[in-house]
Amino acid sequence: DAKGSESPAYEDLEEKISNRLAGIDGRIMAETLCEKEKEAQELYKLEEETMADDKGTSPRDYYRRAHLFDTSAQIFTSLIHKDDNAQQDAPE
């Protein structure tokens, strides 16, 4: 058995490296989630600012709202696809 002949020092080193890599991967994922959350918050704030004067009674309000929601949906969709592609490209 190849593993049985390895020294405890080698096993300790291998475990430390694995733990370090897991920590780095965890930080990268946390940073990515944090960035996405910030982007979503910024979009939400922009929507609130844009909608502040919107009474929803005129066609202009409706079209402005529709345009805003369409643009937001496109941005969120691109973020989701970007994340999906990044996960597919990630080494296993």
Residue 36's contacts (CB-CB under 8 Å, 6 or more residues apart) are 79, 83
Q: Which of 35, 25, 36 is nearest to 91 (CA)?
A: 25
Give average pLDDT by consecutive 10-residue segment, the chain, 92 residues.
59 76 73 78 75 68 79 81 72 61
The pTM for the full model equals 0.36
pLDDT at 51 (0 to 100): 67
pLDDT at 1 (0 to 100): 44
pLDDT at 79 (0 to 100): 78
